[in-house]
Amino acid sequence: MGVSRAGFVPAAVVEWDKWCCDTIRENRLRHVQPLAKWPSPIEGDIRDVDFTKHEGLIDLVTGGPPCQPFSLGGKHRGYDDVRDMWPQAVRVVRETKPKAFIFENVKGLTRATFASYLAYIVQQLTYPELTLRADEDWPDHLRRLEKHHTRQPHKKSGLTYNVVYRVLNAANYGVPQKRERVVFVGFRNDLGIEWSFPEQTHSLDVLLGQQASGEYWERHSVPKAHRVTPSRLATRAQSTLISDKNRPWRTVRDAIGDLPDPEREQRKSSLLLNHKFQSGARSYAGHTGSPLDLPAKTLKAGVHGVPGGENMLVRPDGTVRYFTVRESARLQTFPDEFAFHGAWSEAMRQLGNAVPVELATVIAKDVRIHLNAATKAKAT
């Protein structure tokens, strides 16, 4: 959705999860933009999809290869996990030869444990046509890719991409959630594009400074008796507020403050899409919920137990409740008209696996600007 909002129109959408496909199909039927312009999703295993018919016709390939193998909340099996779909991401690039690609994954992929495999991913994306041989394991393939990478330029040939990656915090780009993900961006070498990740637009220091000055609380009409500011951090924030050009981090209150409380105002809540109270929330070690006046903690899909067990709001009085699907959608910057298909647990799983729409839009817009500039330069 974020990439489409940046001006790209999908040629194909591939998704293996039934509930996600139902969500896409429902929003297409409801003419929710920009999904109304999407093709019907291909529901199934990406390993069974042939992308060669799109060769040379694609500006951008985007995706999120299943991240459970590398997630801090998962089982950390990495490259030994059958759910690792990075080889398929590389295959899509190889078969379509796009001008650019954007891939997203969990921050856990950058852990020291996976350092060699991270290097392997980058080298494969750089040289997607240098495929794994039948007599190689992946460390042998990595060594061959590294040797190719260090050769003299005139001895290299084939499809090549210039690849950069960085861990980004979605809160720094206007998402009301502290969600760190590693993003890979590559441009085809023949385009001559120089690129870097967009500068962050939002800041923790500005938020804390506004809370310390009272501006934040007054914006939300919060009585002085109910204002809670982390004084230690606010002191630091005040010293940088004047010179900081960024906007404040968006908080949970910023995102959902205008919605009726689904537990205490159930009649009003029932009138809104996907805004139904879910009982059973309780706080315990590792599942403490998100304070109202900071960005939310990372929404999680869950690998065992109830999906999204951490996905709770902590009210100022200390009580907790689960975020509704609609509130979670706002924390992931989906529009209010976007409907999620399935029961609460399935909808929360979709949201926990999603990329924040606004973060994707920021990155994809910048990629599109550079692609358009390269196309214009080539035409002249």
Count other Cβ atoms within 10 Å, centred on residue 337.
11
Pull the structure tokens for residue 370. 């550079």
Specify whether the CB–CB gap between 145 and 168 falls below 8 A: no
Specify whether the CB–CB gap between 364 and 102 falls below 8 A: yes
CA–CA dist 62, 101 (Å, integer) = 6
Q: Which residue has the tokens 């993003």?
A: 183
How many helices and strands in the chain, by DSSP H and E?
13, 11
- As a 3-state breakdown, the chain gives helix, strand, coil percent values, each rounded to 5, of 40, 15, 45
CA–CA dist 330, 39 (Å, integer) = 25
| Cα end-to-end span (Å), the chain | 32
Residue type, 158: G
- Give the length of the chain: 380
CB within 8 Å of 101: residues ≥ 6 apart: 60, 61, 62, 93, 125, 161, 184, 185, 186
Extract the runs of DSSP E, i.e. beta strands, from the chain.
Answer: 14-15, 42-43, 60-63, 100-106, 161-169, 180-188, 202-203, 247-248, 290-291, 312-314, 320-322
Q: Which residue has the tokens 């444990």?
A: 113
Specify whether the CB–CB gap between 162 and 189 falls below 8 A: yes
CA–CA dist 350, 352 (Å, integer) = 5
Specify whether the CB–CB gap between 152 and 65 falls below 8 A: no
Count other Cβ atoms within 10 Å, centred on residue 183.
18
Among 6, 20, 67, 208, the active-site one is 67
Is 21 a known active-site residue?
no
CA–CA dist 364, 4 (Å, integer) = 9
Helix (H, G, I), strand (E, B) or coil at 287: strand
Active site (catalytic) residues: 67
